[in-house]
């Protein structure tokens, strides 16, 4: 599949990985917006813009547990983090494959910049 995150999962595109288990990989965003800017990405290709299913609930919940674990490992959880899930055009979603942005390591600004 011509999906950049699927290609990262398959090792066809390099990433700076910080975490991996059977269902998820977490790696540095290529264009970081904070001292810590990681992407928590399910290995399975889900597209949030298509809507979620009941069968996605376990994976969606686990994605937040992975985000917390990674944030703690990066030493940013206690001071505060922001998790962002962009869905669709108006949110500026660039990569259709489900991913959670984990931002931390500095005081983050307004929730919506513009």
| Interatomic CA distance for residues 60 and 66, integer angstroms | 10
Minimum CB–partner distance for residue 76 and ligand AMP (Å): 17
Strand intervals (E) in 1-114: 17-20, 24-28, 36-42, 81-84, 100-104
Q: Which two tokens stand for residue 88?
A: 């669709």
CA Rg value for the chain: 14
- Residue 31 in contact with ligand AMP, rule: CB under 6 A: yes
Q: x/- binding map, residues 35-64, to ligand AMP, per CB under 6 A? A: ----x-------------------------
Nearer to ligand AMP, 49 or 65 (CB): 49
* Rounded Cα–Cα distance for residues 83 and 39 (Å): 9
Q: Which of the stretches 28-36, 42-50, 54-62, 64-72 binds ligand AMP when contact is defined by CB under 6 A? A: 28-36
Q: CB of residue 109 vs ligand AMP: minimum separation in angstroms? A: 16
Question: In this chain, which of 3, 68, 83, 86 binds ligand AMP, going by CB under 6 A?
Answer: 86
- Residues in contact with 65: Cβ distance below 8 Å, sequence separation at least 6, in sequence order: none
* Active-site residue set: 99
């Amino acid at each position: 599949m011509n999906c950049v995150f699927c290609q990262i999962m398959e090792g066809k595109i390099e990433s700076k990985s910080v975490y991996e288990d059977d269902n998820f990989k977490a790696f540095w965003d290529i264009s970081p917006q904070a001292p810590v800017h990681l992407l928590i990405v399910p290995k399975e290709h889900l597209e949030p813009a298509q809507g979620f299913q009941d069968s996605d609930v376990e994976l969606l919940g686990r994605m937040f547990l992975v985000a917390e674990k990674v944030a703690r490992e990066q030493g940013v959880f206690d001071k505060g983090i922001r998790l962002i899930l962009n869905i669709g055009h108006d949110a500026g979603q660039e990569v259709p494959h489900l991913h959670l942005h984990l931002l931390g390591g500095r005081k983050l600004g307004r929730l919506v910049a513009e």
